[in-house]
Every structure is written in structure tokens, then in C-alpha cells.
Structure 1
Amino acid sequence: MYKLTGVSKQYSRGKETVHALRSIDLVIEDGDQLVIQGPTGGGKSTLLQMIGGLDRPTSGSVELDGTDLAQLSEAKLTKVRSENIGIIFQSFNLIPTLTAQENVETALVPMGVKPAERRERAAEALRSVGLGERMHHVPTELSGGQQQRVAIARALVKKPKVLLADEPTGNLDEGTRDDIMALLDTMCQEYGLTFIMVTHDSALAAKAPRLATIRAGRVTVTEQAQSVRL
């Protein structure tokens, strides 16, 4: 479970102080599906970075299962991220010179998984997202949707507790978007993941069981139809 208490984030832009987040309180239960939406520059990606341990708040606490991520050393924070948090980005962030399987394996290196096990787990992860026959292709030999499936496999191969997604369908056409979201929903239900996604897509936001809307650094959470899934 996540518990954010009084989370604020400020940074300087020249002589100006930007308040990206302002005293946010938020609880995210295990297995929740939460979508974060808001205007450009409203703080939604900043909030996701706090939740993922990719950045630290100026003030406040970000607790994951009772551990305040903001107070951990970089080494301990890296360990928490590598073992518990999978992240998917809009731009896929695949290494262009590596095959799909090798890209997925990179997620297991920080965990100290031995090479033979890395190869086996990466291959299984790619099969689970429908890319069993494409695992030896480099990113330029894959479509955008296939590259995002590789990114999903990379996020899931370490068997995380939490899956974060920052505009995961932003570079995809509508049909591919729907395929990727259906895949993510299936994976989240199958593995019991806590899923938190930033999106500008109102159609996706409307389907979320919980919607966090951020404006001017402040968040409002709306409980939506619980029968609706992403």
C-alpha cells in the first residue's frame, strides 16, 4: 500500500519557484487501478516520479508498505525500485542495439539474476505478451505496439508489486492503444498488480476505477464505476 502525506515538490526555473505538487495526501491500496490526469505542467508526471522513487519530494513522505521512499539512501531506493516497481514509458526506452530478449533481461541485471535464468525469464515474459516469435529482433524491426509490448515484458519480468505507466499509449494509434490497454489490464489482474497510470487520454481516464485529477499541483480523487476496468 502507498501512503503519501503532505507531499510537495518545488524546483527553481531561473528566478521563479515552481510548485509542482502542493501538500498532496493520497492512499493507494494494493491491487488498485489509479489513473492520473491533468493539464500539461500540472504535476501528474512529477507525482508518478515520487510514487516510483525516481524523484524525492521537497517535503512530505511517500510510504510503500510502511517504508518512506524519500528517506532511503540511493542504494536502498534503487533496490526497492528494481525489486518492487515496474515502469513503462511513452517512448518505450528500449536500447536500440539490443534484441527484445536482451532488453527485457536488463531489468534483471540489478537483481543479480544469473545469465541462464535471465534468458529463461525474459523469453517467458515475451511469450506472455505475444512476442515469442520476435524475441531476437531489435527495436527497429518491431512496430510501435510491439516495442511497447517489449517494454511491458521488461517491466513485468522482475515480478513487481507495482506497475507504473507514464503515457504508455501516447505514441500509438487508437487500435494499438486498445490492444495495449487490454494487455495491461489482463496482466494486472493475473498478477494482482497495483497499477498507476498517467494519461492525457480522456477515454482511458473515464474507464478507471479511480481517477486522480491534478491541477496546479493539487489532487482530487474520484471513485468511478467499480465494474469498469481499464
Structure 2
Amino acid sequence: MYELIGVTKQYRRGQARVDALAGIDLTIAPGDRLVVQGPTGGGKSTLLQMLGGLDRPTAGSVFLDGTDLARLSEARLTAVRSRYIGFVFQSFNLIPTLTAQENVETALVPLGVKAAERRRRAAEALDSVGLGERAAHLPSELSGGQQQRVAIARALVKRPQVLLADEPTGNLDESTRDEIAELLEGLWREHGLTFVMVTHDSALARRAPRLATLRKGRLTVTDNPKAAAPTPA
């Protein structure tokens, strides 16, 4: 699925050069669930952006199914993100003037899905996250956990191969955090997704089959054999 070879990302901070990623090598197989942890500023979100084609490395290659995302044009990158990669963020990123149903449908517009099919698939996606009865509600009428469920439905409605989540429970209380974590794990198993999540939460990290730790741009990966593997699709 993914193969990262010598991935480096450098930024300028005043006169100083900062290596957010320093020669990262990483393989992520289809169906893997990888959690990325590390201190603030250690490169976690930068790594996720590389996997999602949201940023390009200063050096190195990011292969997704044999295609180097770092070498694609912006138009082709946009097409890859639209079709193959779902994103979930800490801040939900819902459009406040659209209903839950309409927010989910927005993910299908770039794919050219017709209106009737968009409505059907969005309704199914909301049902799958337990929000079928809240489809007509605006984000302001939903709790934080419900808003994140809408965001997850929006990420999954296009039937991606990859789900990338950046601190998806960071704005939620402990009880809601556990609910969202269990939902994401269930969807990972059900759909056979390749799932990469950035989190500061060690309780979530312990549930993952693989844990990557990023410190000062350097990556260490360990396996957790006690975590459950997905049920084959």
C-alpha cells in the first residue's frame, strides 16, 4: 500500500532549518492500522500530510500502490485524494450552513456522483455511524461527538482505501473518545481499510497493532501482537 523511502521535510524558522522529517523509511501494508505518537513538533502531522498527498517532501519518495505521490501534478494528487483517501481531523471541518446529510454529500461532488446517488450514499454513511436520524441537523445542533461522526461518514462515503485521522478524539471527553475510537476500529475491520491515526492519547495507541513514534523527525515502529487484526473483507 504505502512505501516511504528517505522522506525528509525541511522548514525554515527564521534563520534556522527545521527537519520535521529526517529520512523516514516506512512500509504500511494494505489493511494495517498504525498509530503515530510523539511530542508536539515531532513531525506527526507532517507525516500524515505526506501520506495524504497534502504536502510534498523536500527529499525522498512516498509511494501509494506504486505511484510516487511526490512526483504527481496537483491535478492528479487531487484526484488521488478524492478517490482513495479519507481524512478525519480534530476540528471536524464541517460546513456550518449545511446539514449533516449535505456535509457528507460534499465528498462525492468531486467524483461526479449524481444527486440521487449522493443522497442515498450519504444516508447510508450516516446510518453506519449511528446518525441516520440526525441527517437534517446543522453542525451547531449536534454534540462534538456527533459532529465527529458526521466527519467520519464524510470520509468514508467515497469508499476510500485509506483513512487518515489527525487527533480525531482530541476535542472530545473521555467517554465520547472511547465511543469514537470503537467506531473507527469497527469501520476499519468492516471495510478492510488501511488506517493511520495521529494521537497524543496513549490509551488509544495501546489498542493499535502497530505504533510509530516520531521524535525530532526520526521514526521508530513497534508491533503490538495483543491488538486484534481486522476481519478479512
**TM-score, normalised by the number of residues in structure 1:** 0.98
- Structure 2 matches for 1:179-218, cutoff 5 A? 179-218=179-218
- Structure 2 matches for 1:50-129, cutoff 5 A? 50-129=50-129
Contact 2:5 2:23 in 1 (8 A): yes
Q: Give the Cα–Cα distance (whole angstroms) in 1 for the partners of residues 203 and 126 of structure 2.
A: 28
The corresponding residue for 1:174 is 174
Q: Give the Cα–Cα distance (whole angstroms) in 1 for the partners of residues 186 and 209 of structure 2.
A: 15
Q: Give the Cα–Cα distance (whole angstroms) in 2 for the partners of residues 158 and 226 of structure 1.
A: 31
1:94-135, Cα deviation, whole Å (9 max, x unpaired) = 000000000001100111111111111101100111101100
Compared CA separation, residues 21 and 195, structure 1 to 2 (3 A)? same
Task: Quote the offset at 1:226 in angstroms.
Answer: 4.2
Letter in 2 for 1:203: A
Letter in 2 for 1:182: E
The corresponding residue for 2:5 is 5
1:145-196, Cα deviation, whole Å (9 max, x unpaired) = 0000000000000000000000000000011011001111111111000000
Letter in 2 for 1:79: A
1:178-220, Cα deviation, whole Å (9 max, x unpaired) = 1001111111111000000000001111121100000000000
The corresponding residue for 2:152 is 152
> Percent identity of the aligned residues?
74
Q: Give the Cα–Cα distance (whole angstroms) in 1 for the partners of residues 101 and 203 of structure 2.
A: 32
Task: Quote the offset at 1:228 in angstroms.
Answer: 3.9
2:132 is paired with a residue of what secondary structure? coil
Q: Give the Cα–Cα distance (whole angstroms) in 1 for the partners of residues 198 and 37 of structure 2.
A: 6
Letter in 2 for 1:87: F
Compared CA separation, residues 15 and 3, structure 1 to 2 (3 A)? same
1:34-72, Cα deviation, whole Å (9 max, x unpaired) = 000000000000000000100000000000000000000
- Which runs of 5 or more structure 1 residues have no equivalent in the other structure? none
Task: Quote the offset at 1:14 in angstroms.
Answer: 1.7
The Cα RMSD (Å) is: 1.0
Contact 1:208 1:229 in 2 (8 A): no
Letter in 1 for 2:108: L
Letter in 2 for 1:126: L
Contact 2:208 2:227 in 1 (8 A): no
Contact 1:122 1:153 in 2 (8 A): yes
Q: Give the Cα–Cα distance (whole angstroms) in 1 for the partners of residues 15 and 175 of structure 2.
A: 45
Q: Give the Cα–Cα distance (whole angstroms) in 2 for the partners of residues 41 and 148 of structure 1.
A: 24
**Following TM superposition, where does structure 1 have runs of at least 4 consecutive aligned residues deviating by more than 3 angstroms?**
226-230
Aligned length: 230
Contact 2:38 2:200 in 1 (8 A): yes
Q: Give the Cα–Cα distance (whole angstroms) in 1 for the partners of residues 31 and 89 of structure 2.
A: 21
Contact 1:207 1:229 in 2 (8 A): no
Task: Quote the offset at 1:225 in angstroms.
Answer: 2.1
Q: Give the Cα–Cα distance (whole angstroms) in 2 for the partners of residues 13 and 112 of structure 1.
A: 41
Q: Give the Cα–Cα distance (whole angstroms) in 2 for the partners of residues 47 and 173 of structure 1.
A: 26
Contact 1:11 1:17 in 2 (8 A): yes
Contact 1:38 1:44 in 2 (8 A): yes
Task: Quote the offset at 1:13 in angstroms.
Answer: 1.5
2:97 is paired with a residue of what secondary structure? coil
Q: Give the Cα–Cα distance (whole angstroms) in 1 for the partners of residues 173 and 228 of structure 2.
A: 22
State yes or no: 1:31 paired with 2:14. Answer: no
The corresponding residue for 1:133 is 133
